[in-house]
């Protein structure tokens, strides 16, 4: 894969911290809009900046979405640097009944890591569990801050998945 290098993998961020321009990549409308339609719209984007917010209500890094209440139907494409905290927060907000739906877009190439092995794998797609995982086809496009056009070879070199917390998932 030419032109797109992994840049916020833990082996890199441990040494020099995460890069804002990588953390700030927005979900492309071609990805987001069908999901918003499928799930009946989202009320709140919990990890955003004004340039990439997907809902009228959103939390930025300054707000710290991890320290706020997640109400209603929640969209979350979190920064990749501390996924364990975002998954734990989603469980908390869903379990206490504040969030009625959470859809989280995540990289699908880190499933060997602790946040997945402890926060996702034991619960996903199990009878009675509210958490469902969908592995997405192809490589998604993301939009960098300030970018309107996406150039060739700008798809990330990994697949993505959706984590969906929803009462109807339980069976
Ligand atoms: C991968 S981008 C997703 C952007 C957008 N919400 C979307 O789906 O298109 C993650 C965003 O979360 C923001 N962010 C980073 N830390 C955050 C925090 N603690 N609370 C809320 N937002 C945060 C970043 O600035 C960035 O804009």
Question: pLDDT tens across 26-51, in order?
Answer: 999 999 999 999 999 999 999 999 99
77 lines ligand 1 (CB under 6 A): yes
Give residue limits of the domains in the chain.
41-144+154-169
Return the higher-pLDDT residue of 64 and 151. Answer: 64
What is the model's pLDDT at position 102? Answer: 98
Q: Could you tell me the pLDDT band of residue 3, with boundaries at 50, 70 and 90?
A: very low
Q: Could you tell me the pLDDT band of residue 20, with boundaries at 50, 70 and 90?
A: low
Q: What is the DSSP-derived secondary structure letter of residue 17? A: -
What is the model's pLDDT at position 45? Answer: 98
What pTM, to 2 d.p., does this model score? 0.87
Residues 6+ apart with CB under 8 A from 80: 8, 9, 18, 22, 23, 107
The CATH number of domain 41-144+154-169 is 3.40.50: yes
Give bridge partners of residue 164 from the DSSP assignment: 103, 132
8 lines ligand 1 (CB under 6 A): no
Torsion of the alpha carbons at 105, 9, 125 and 97, rounded to the nearest 10: -60
Q: CA of 114: how far to CAs of 10, 46, 90, 94, in Å? A: 12, 22, 16, 21
| Residue found by looking up tokens 């939009």 in the block | 143
What is the model's pLDDT at position 140? Answer: 83
21 lines ligand 1 (CB under 6 A): no
Report which protein residue has its CA nearest ligand 1's atom 11. 48
Structure confidence by residue, pLDDT tens digits, 44-77: 999 999 999 999 999 999 999 999 999 999 999 9
What is the model's pLDDT at position 4? Answer: 36
Rounded Cα distance between 104 and 134, Å, is: 10
Task: Please give the distance, rounded to the nearest whole angstrom, from the Cα atom of residue 66 to the centre of ligand 1.
Answer: 11
Structure confidence by residue, pLDDT tens digits, 89-133: 999 999 999 999 999 999 999 999 999 999 999 999 999 999 999
Q: Distance from CA of residue 134 to its chain's centroid?
A: 13
52 lines ligand 1 (CB under 6 A): yes
Rounded Cα distance between 68 and 74, Å, is: 12
Q: Are 158 and 108 in contact (CB under 8 A)?
A: yes
Q: Are 105 and 98 in contact (CB under 8 A)?
A: no
């Amino acid at each position: 894969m030419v032109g797109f290098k992994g840049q916020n993998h833990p082996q890199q961020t441990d040494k020099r911290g995460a890069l804002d321009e990588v953390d700030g990549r927005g979900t492309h409308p071609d990805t987001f809009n069908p999901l918003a339609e499928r799930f009946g719209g989202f009320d709140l984007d919990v990890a955003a900046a004004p340039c990439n917010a997907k809902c009228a209500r959103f939390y930025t890094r300054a707000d710290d979405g991890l320290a706020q209440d997640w109400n209603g139907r929640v969209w979350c494409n979190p920064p990749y640097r501390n996924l364990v905290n975002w998954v734990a927060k989603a469980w908390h907000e869903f379990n206490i009944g504040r969030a009625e739906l959470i859809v989280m877009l995540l990289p699908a190439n880190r499933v060997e890591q602790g946040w997945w092995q402890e926060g996702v794998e034991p619960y996903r797609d199990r009878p009675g569990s509210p958490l469902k995982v969908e592995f997405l086809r192809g490589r998604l496009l993301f939009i960098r801050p300030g970018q309107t056009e996406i150039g060739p070879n700008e798809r990330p070199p990994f697949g993505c998945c959706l984590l969906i917390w929803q009462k109807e998932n339980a069976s």
